[in-house]
Structures are given as structure tokens and as C-alpha cells.
Structure 1
């Protein structure tokens, strides 16, 4: 069987040369373990941070060892009384075609309630991130204006839909006219800004949000964050969920000093890491599932096929080649 190792800690943008395919013998489960066959692999921007050997909210990936992310897998053989052959599970697992795990490291998912890939997206960490970021920091109120960057992405598209459910005006920022059209027609955003063609992002935000921004859900950081801050209302809230615009920078670029704006407008700006709220995952997933059943939330996926294409799918995230959740079907 094949597994994918990290062999370099990239400087700047990662490349295929940072990964290596390694052949291993297919494992056999011991007592209490499961043998899993990988079905779907989640590739996410946060993995770029784990490729660095620096302290963070999650341990760095080891060199010359398998990559890992959220996976959906099928139980091929079980030596654990809590699982049966044919069960489907999700968890933080290795980029391997097959692997053994203890039964405590994975959770069952039901393919009859939703497509299996959805458990890596709207019914997985993606949906939970959108919901809890707004719930814990955003404190959305009916009638407010919500601005979302990365609006056509996995998290941003769910954020916008929750904003509409809450009765807010929602404006999205994305990187193509096709994406802007999709967030308005499929996800119900009230408007959108193409950051790649705008002549002045701050002015375009001001024109799209004439009453100012009450909540900004930030997935990109950088100059777009600077422009959003310039248009925040008093007592505005900024959720710093991601900063994909600077993930590949070897040195963090200097932007405007924000402290004056934060003080003058009494803005709350807070970093958000979904793993800080594990105890809230269950209720969050249930609420999202209920909204899906009611037809209030839909989702998009970009599904790439083939185990060998996992590294390239990951790299494509930084080119904006995905709409919605990027998933590899093995």
C-alpha cells in the first residue's frame, strides 16, 4: 500500500517536491484495533502551518513521516467490539491507503443521513468552524451587516448562509466573477467583491456595506483584513479564523497599525481555533444538520479523484482552484 510522507519543510509556497510516496506493507489490526481503508481525504489551508517546525495550537508534522488530516474511512476488519466491518468513521488520520487505529480515535458516521464526503465539510470541522466562530465571537444580531472573506470557500460559504438565517445583510469577498456569482445565487449572499479585479478594496467594501460592518469573518488576513477594519462600525467584532494570504510568506508583511482603530471604535478582534470548543461540536453539527433538512443550508465540494493526487489538491488550495470544500476521493 502507499502512504505520503512530508520530506521537506518548505520555505514559501510548498511544492510536490516536499512530499514522497512510500510503499508499506498493509497492516494487520491487533486486539482493540480497527483496519481502515481510506475513502475521502480533507485537504485544508491550516496544514501549511503544520509543515513548519514551530509551536502552534496543533503539533507540527514530523519529517519523513506520514502527512495527516481529517479522513473518512471504511472499517475493513474490526477487533474492537464497538465497531463492525462495514462501518464508516472519521478522524484525524494518516495519508495512507490502509491503516490500523484504536477504536478511541475515530467516530462513526452514517452514509444514509448525508454523503460521506459531507462529514469532512459541512457536517465536519468546516461547518463547526463556521457555526462556532459566529456563535462564540461574532454574536450576530438581526439586521447587522456581516462581511466574509474567502466567501466561496469551505468555511466562508457556510458562514454566509448562517448570517442570512440570522437575518443579517451578508457581503462576500472572493477571487473570481464566477465565485461571486455562485455566492449570490447558490448561497444567498446579498453582494460580493472580486478582490482580484478591484481597484480599491476598501472603497468597494464601503460601497457594498454603506451602513458599515458589524461582524467580519476573516479567512484570509493581509490587505483585505486591513480594508475591512477601516470599514468597521463601533462595537464591531472581527473573527480571525484564517490567514491564507500570508501562510506561504517567509516573513510576515507589515500592514497598518490597528490599535488606533480598535480603540476608537471599541472593536473586538479575536483569534478563533475550533479545537478550543470540542465540547460544543455535537450541538453545532446537530443544528447544521437541522438547517440542511429544512433547506436553509447547502454546500459545495471540489472532489479530486485518486490517492496520488492528494498533494496536488492541497497545493491547489493556494491557487484558489477549489469552490467550497476540497476533498480527495481515494
Structure 2
């Protein structure tokens, strides 16, 4: 029997603020006949195994005509209402008309929030193979983010923009998230003093006792200005920015001369669709008074570069030698994908959120 179910999550309505599972997402029940599916030249058909849920997807769920942010990258393309939402993940090739792939290959790339994805010829080149030999030491789910875009995000931005030096102090906001947890551990390997903030006491315990941060605190329970003075008495050399808004405003006052600010995200502002309601940071003069470097990035900028090669070598070595601990929030089934995504913005995730779609 070649007819299989292919449940998927479509965008039901465009969210104005934090998305709501029932209001903005819909689980569709579909079937597909694999045997009789006709593939065009260079197309592939995939059985999706693991899906990465990332905050950037929120940018794809906005009205194109009202969005003041323009991003020239395929993974940030707006999703029309009624269409399956897209993300990044690991899949198995089950049918192919592409000479670069054979049935049974494992690949990583842009897939739908669905059980199976038909990849057209213009998208197929963006996929890359998963080295099955690594599966002896590293679980397949790690390849959905940790060993790919997710891990490269943390490594490349810290090394290229943060330029860490032994003995310096780094402060990481949203430090228990998928990016922050890796940035902090890499910084520890490089000999930095690592301070992190997060939104629950449980996550603080995770940062201190499992990741071995030098200090961590629940930002909801403290005065950030006083806490940074306490934990960073000699100032901040690197600020890894994941939050934005008032946090950035306060941190700028604690930055040292020639500090580097790595802007990975500003999640506090993602669900504010009216530009006039965005938080206006009032301490920007620190940037020129202290000669601070503040730089954003897109992880795609590092693909194919020497720093990606260094990352791939270092991350595998660190995993095998137990120098890196990677926490995942594993969700089971396409049915729970929308809730897992919304939980990221409600602070309910601890670590990287991955959806297991099928057994391998």
C-alpha cells in the first residue's frame, strides 16, 4: 500500500501579537499516493523525521504589505494563509528524480510542518546530506539543529562578532534557549566568565548546575541594573543579545569600552506588529561614547565559509569529549507542533525545541 497520511499544519490566520494555537493554526488531514506521485526533474520526496522550531519563523507569519522589516532570504518568506508553514529539519529520501540523492539518504534542509514534503527542483540544492557514520556517536535529532544551523548560529556569531578573549565577561540574555545554552558553553571553553539570565528558577538551576555558568538569574525576580552591577562588577565585554527592548537599554550602561554586542534576536519585540509600539532604547549614546561594536547577522552568511568548517570540526569533538551539553525540548507528533511553537514565545520551552515526526 503506497497511500499514506500526510498531516500538516497550515496558517489559519495571521497573528497580530503572540500566536494562538486554535486561532492561527490548523492541522490538516491529507493523504498522498507515493507510488503514483510524479516527480519533476531534480525533485525529491521526503519522509520528515525531525523538525526544528525556531523563533525566526514568526517573521514568516506576518502580513507582507504591513511588515516594515524586509529580509532577503528564502527561509523568511511570508507564509500565505491556508498554506503549510515551513521550517528546517531532517528527512529521509523516499522517492527521487535527482541524481544527487538516492532512496534512503538522510538530508537536512527546508521542509514543511508536515509528515511528508515534495521538494521542487529550485529548493533541492539547499539540502545537504547527513553523515550516517556520525549516528554511531551522535543522535539523529541533533542533526535537525545542533549540528546544523542552530549550532552554527551560536558558534559563528560568537567567534566572528563577539571575538571572545580569555578572562573577559559575557552576558547572555535568554541563556537557557537553544542559542544561549551553546553560546555560554562555548564561552566557558574559551575561558570567559559567563553570566546568563532566563525566565524561571528551573532554568536558572539548569544554567548553574548543568551548564556550569558562573552566575545566572531569573530576570523576572530581580532589578536587572542592580543584578548586572553585582554579577559583572568589572563591566560587560560581550553581550549576546536575544531579547531587545528594555534589557538592551540597561545592558548598554554596563558595557565596557570596546565591548561587542552580538545581535542574534530581539524576541521581546517579535510579536509587536505596530512599529510605533516597539520599545525605544534610550541609551544608544553608549555605542559611540564607549566605542561599542553592535552587529546583527543571518546564519546563512556563514555557510560555506572557513568558520563553518571550524564549527563542524569543533562541535563533533566537543560532543564526543563531553565538553558540550545540549538540552532539547522534544515534542512528539505533528499534532503538537503549533503548541510547541507558541510555547517558545510564552517562555515554556527549556532548551532547543524539536518535533519528532517519525521513527527512523
Compute the TM-score of the two structures, normalised by the length of structure 2: 0.87
Aligned with residue 56 of structure 1, among 57, 61, 71 = 71
Structure 2: runs of 5 or more not aligned: 1-5
User: What is the CA-CA distance between 1:29 and the residue it aligns to?
Assistant: 5.0
Matching of residue 37 in structure 1 with residue 29 in structure 2: no
Partner of 2:323: 296
Matching of residue 266 in structure 1 with residue 287 in structure 2: no
Q: Distance in 2 between matches of 1:9 and 1:104?
A: 30
Partner of 1:231: 254
The answer to whether the 8 Å contact 2:287/2:293 transfers is yes
User: What is the CA-CA distance between 1:63 and the residue it aligns to?
Assistant: 2.4
Q: Distance in 1 between matches of 2:229 and 2:157?
A: 24
Partner of 1:19: 25
Matching of residue 313 in structure 1 with residue 340 in structure 2: yes
Q: Summarize the alignment of residues 95-244 of structure 1 with structure 2, pairs less than 5 Å apart.
A: 95-101=113-119, 102=121, 103-109=124-130, 110=132, 111-198=135-222, 200-244=223-267
The answer to whether the 8 Å contact 2:184/2:213 transfers is yes
User: What is the CA-CA distance between 1:298 and the residue it aligns to?
Assistant: 1.6
Once the two structures are superposed, residues 154-175 of structure 1 have per-residue CA deviations (whole angstroms, 9 ceiling, x without a partner) of 0000000110111100000111
The answer to whether the 8 Å contact 2:47/2:115 transfers is yes
Partner SS state of residue 300, structure 2: helix
The answer to whether the 8 Å contact 2:137/2:320 transfers is no
Once the two structures are superposed, residues 122-175 of structure 1 have per-residue CA deviations (whole angstroms, 9 ceiling, x without a partner) of 212111010111112101111100111111110000000110111100000111
Compute the TM-score of the two structures, normalised by the length of structure 1: 0.94
The answer to whether the 8 Å contact 1:29/1:35 transfers is no
User: What is the CA-CA distance between 1:201 and the residue it aligns to?
Assistant: 0.6
User: What is the CA-CA distance between 1:61 and the residue it aligns to?
Assistant: 1.9
User: What is the CA-CA distance between 1:112 and the residue it aligns to?
Assistant: 3.1
Once the two structures are superposed, residues 264-318 of structure 1 have per-residue CA deviations (whole angstroms, 9 ceiling, x without a partner) of 1111111122122222334322221222222211200000111111111000101
Partner SS state of residue 46, structure 1: helix
The answer to whether the 8 Å contact 1:44/1:314 transfers is yes
Q: Distance in 1 between matches of 2:38 and 2:228?
A: 55
Partner SS state of residue 89, structure 1: strand
Partner of 1:85: 103
Partner SS state of residue 17, structure 2: coil
Q: Distance in 2 between matches of 1:178 and 1:20?
A: 32
The answer to whether the 8 Å contact 1:205/1:227 transfers is no
Once the two structures are superposed, residues 49-78 of structure 1 have per-residue CA deviations (whole angstroms, 9 ceiling, x without a partner) of 111123224322222211000011112233
The answer to whether the 8 Å contact 2:246/2:279 transfers is no
Q: Distance in 2 between matches of 1:29 and 1:69?
A: 24
Partner SS state of residue 47, structure 1: helix
The answer to whether the 8 Å contact 1:127/1:285 transfers is no
User: What is the CA-CA distance between 1:220 and the residue it aligns to?
Assistant: 1.1
Task: List, as ranges, runs of 4+ consecutive aligned residues in structure 1 with deviation greater than 6 Å.
Answer: none
Matching of residue 253 in structure 1 with residue 278 in structure 2: yes
Output the aligned Cα RMSD. 1.7
Aligned residues: 329
- Greater shift, 38-47 or 21-30, is seen at 21-30
Partner SS state of residue 64, structure 1: coil
